[in-house]
């Protein structure tokens, strides 16, 4: 845990995805996401006629590939700053909606729902995280498919990098990471400086789930797990050497 940690509010996601996202996460590009999106297209057997929801679409980097594979793709995100970035990436393609994933507005509209790069587990209580699962399930048509990319708990616990400093476009980015075993969460604080002056500080906190816990949560929300991979090459899950927990299944 950092010596002087930033207090991470329970609604940290209201502020953490702001206009500095392209600086802090410059490596999260459309090109870097393309192979991941293609893997999800393959594993969900996505067709041109399928209606697709990218839940927590962020800056649209996965959507840019999804819109090439299906005629109807909707991106949903809570952050207006991220949706602005997505509009710049997608142009006229796809539909973007601002909403909270716990209370998303769609009901039995989609054949496929995708959720990439640990855009889940943000909320403080299990009731809230379950509400997000139920929202995902509600958006799916009966028998609809889902693809959720989460981190693998055992790998994360063994490979966490407590602190890092990097530089991007004239900014210095300082990050601290730690695991709270009592709350079962991984936390991160990010301080961004420009010419030695702090221009942004924020925190993130995400629930650590084992594969059994995640299966149980999805089942309680009406989702049936069919297979789990440990990476985007179809590797085994969930062993300590594999970074991801990619869960694929159908609405029960």
| Mean pLDDT along residues 94-112 | 97
In a domain, 5, yes or no: no
Q: Which residue has the higher pLDDT, 19 or 63?
A: 63
In Å, what is the CA distance from 223 to each residue of 32, 112, 237? 29, 12, 19
Q: Please tell me the pTM assigned to this model.
A: 0.95
Give the model's pLDDT for residue 7.
Answer: 77
**Token code pair at residue 1:** 């845990």
Q: Please check whether residue 55 is in contact with residue 115, taking contact to mean a CB–CB distance below 8 angstroms.
A: yes
Tell me phi and psi for residue 93, to 5 degrees. -85, 140
pLDDT higher than threshold 80 for residue 1: no
Are residues 33 and 90 both part of a single domain? Answer: yes
| Residue 187: Cβ within 10 Å count | 20
Within a domain: 2:
no
* Same-domain status, 85 and 193: no
State whether 101 and 201 are in the same domain.
Answer: no
**6: pLDDT strictly greater than 90:** no
Angle of CA points 159, 161, 165, to nearest 5°: 155
Shared domain check, 162 and 148? no
Residues 126 and 56 in one domain: yes
In a domain, 3, yes or no: no
- The answer to whether residue 13 sits within a structural domain is no
Residue identified by tokens 């090439």 is 68
The mean predicted confidence, pLDDT, of the chain is 95
Residues 49 and 135 in one domain: yes
Tally of domains within the chain = 2
Range of the domain at 196: 155-206
Q: What is the pLDDT of residues 143-201, one digit of tens each?
A: 999 999 999 999 999 999 999 999 999 999 999 999 999 999 999 999 999 999 999 99
Q: What phi and psi values does residue 130 have, to the nearest 5 degrees?
A: -65, -35
The pLDDT confidence band at residue 84, using thresholds 50, 70 and 90, is: very high
Given a cut of 60, whether residue 43 has pLDDT beyond it is yes
Whether residues 64 and 125 share a domain: the answer is yes
């Amino acid at each position: 845990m950092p010596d002087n940690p930033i207090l991470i509010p329970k609604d940290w996601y209201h502020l953490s995805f702001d206009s500095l996202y392209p600086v802090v996460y410059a490596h999260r590009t459309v090109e870097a996401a393309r192979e991941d999106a293609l893997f999800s297209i393959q594993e969900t057997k996505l067709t041109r006629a399928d209606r697709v929801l990218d839940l927590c679409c962020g800056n649209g980097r996965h959507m840019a590939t999804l819109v090439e594979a299906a005629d109807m793709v909707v991106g949903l995100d809570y952050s207006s700053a991220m949706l602005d970035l997505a509009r710049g990436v997608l142009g006229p393609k796809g539909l973007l909606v601002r909403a909270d994933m716990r209370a998303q507005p769609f009901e039995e509209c989609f054949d496929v729902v995708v959720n990439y790069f640990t855009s889940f587990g943000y909320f403080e209580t299990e009731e809230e995280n379950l509400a997000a699962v139920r929202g995902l399930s509600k958006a799916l048509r009966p028998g609809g498919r889902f693809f959720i990319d989460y981190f693998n708990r055992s790998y994360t616990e063994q490979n966490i990098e407590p602190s890092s400093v990097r530089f991007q476009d004239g900014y210095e980015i300082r990050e601290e990471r730690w695991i709270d075993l009592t709350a079962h969460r991984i936390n991160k604080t990010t301080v961004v400086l420009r010419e030695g002056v702090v221009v942004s500080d924020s925190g993130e906190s995400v629930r650590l789930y084992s594969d059994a816990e995640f299966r149980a949560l999805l089942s309680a929300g009406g989702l049936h797990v069919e297979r789990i991979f440990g990476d985007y090459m179809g590797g085994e899950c969930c062993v300590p050497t594999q970074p991801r927990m990619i869960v694929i299944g159908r609405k029960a």
